[in-house]
Structure 1
Amino acid sequence: MSTPLLIGLIASLLATGMVGGLLAGLLGVGGGIVIVPVLYNVLSIFGVNDDIRMHVAVGTSLAIIIPTSIASARSHYKKGAIDTALLKSWGPMIFVGVIGGTVLAGFANAFILTLVFAVLALIVAANMAFRPDTLKFSDSLPKSPFKESLALLIGWFSAMMGIGGGTLAVPILTLYNVPIRKAVGTSAAIGLIIAIPGTTGFLLSGLDAKGLPFGNYGYVNFLGFIMIVPMTVLFAPLGARIAHRINTNMLKKTFAFFLFVTSLRMFYSIS
């Protein structure tokens, strides 16, 4: 790779980390919803085989979410924005969902992983762009077993997408009347429950994979990890502070447009 191209790659990864960190703290989305599609496209520069490119993007994103979630959750915890009771209630089923999603992802081909990401990114974009703030399903979370089923699905699909859980957990929690800042803070902590077992699963399932790029161990690329993590850790607390000071409505709509375009590109790549 030429020096100018390498410099451009490093700059794009640093920028990805900055944006991912801000979004992790600001919207509780863990950063993975940004990191996965960027890595998916960046890896093509290295000529990474299409059969494993999405696996590497997802596995690397989950690894990156570990320090990001720690930084973001600490900031939200200091502000009293984490619902510890809900975290204890949902945690075990989220963990079970992550194990199931990670195992399935290890056996799934690139088409399935990319399709899952594209479909859910489109749903999340539509929710952010068009859902009225006043829309609620109920004044409180549903009772068992539906409450645990929601946690299971959040863990399952978050692991398959390489996201921290907030992308799915925040809209679900707010639909059940959980205050937005509490939903964001709790989702930041949920990201840690998802990222640690998810990363472990992608490390192990990719040990025998062929054609892995330089810097990979299993499906986790540690070069990308090293470049992106410092920026996510630096900017996640800033995002958390901003979240408590501004109206995020316009930001959500802008991010929804990004997700919509990302989803279309994913659909096009597997067509």
Structure 2
Amino acid sequence: MSALCARALTLAIPGREAQALDIEITPGQVWGVLGPNGAGKTTLLHTLAGLKAPRAGNVYLDEQPLSTLARRDVARRLGLVFQERVDGFPATVFETVMMGRHPYLSLFQHETPGDSERVEAALAAFDLAGFEQRLVSSLSGGERQRVALATLVVQDPGVWLLDEPTNHLDLHHQSAAMALLSERAAHGRTVMMCLHDVNLAARWCSHALLLHSNGDVQAGPTDDVLGLEALERLYDQPLSTAEIDGVAVFMPRHDHDPHRARRQA
């Protein structure tokens, strides 16, 4: 049974035709969406979340047409971490992360002690214990990103959509975030994330979706899709590859790099 499915889905990207996308994402899978700037990665996530209408085709959540579901019902099943966020009103870290429980509460229902325990556990998972009463507006970019991830953990929907989840994070918190997403997938969640770092996708994702600037699409298991030739075409960039701890690693190759020549001199 698919958790999220796109059938003949064409993204509404101004000035460009895109190949119709047919993709079925099942519980336990971690998908990495890769592509150059402007290829439509964010548009894809917003379309899959029902925030942007497609040019054609349909999205299905738990095999039901997304367009027929109430937004509260969608919020219980699907969560989205945006690439950029705007503070609409002053709120503490605790209040912000608690918003992840709001889809499960009725209009006049108050949060329970169990909800508070979920928030505290999520904050601890992202090294935010002690930040509860800090205003989100006072945080650094990386701290805000961890708050957004903690909010999604508290929401705990079946489908997790994330736009650049490692944005602003240092190496330690990048690794911790990716490990947590992988662990959630292992417990039956479905994860799809847009990434700029090919190596994060190679290390942590079971499947990859490549969006090309000309509208072409490639999708499949990571080992099948993330090949040197395919990635060089995707980014129009020569690459070198090696294997570290059994995982392919890709690096840009600059055959005429003057800095490299100086270091070798």
TM-score, normalization by structure 2: 0.30
> Bigger relative contact order, structure 1 or 2, given CA contacts below 8 A and separation 6+?
1
Q: Which has the larger radius of gyration?
A: 2
Going by fraction, where is helix more abundant, 1 or 2? 1
Going by fraction, where is strand more abundant, 1 or 2? 2
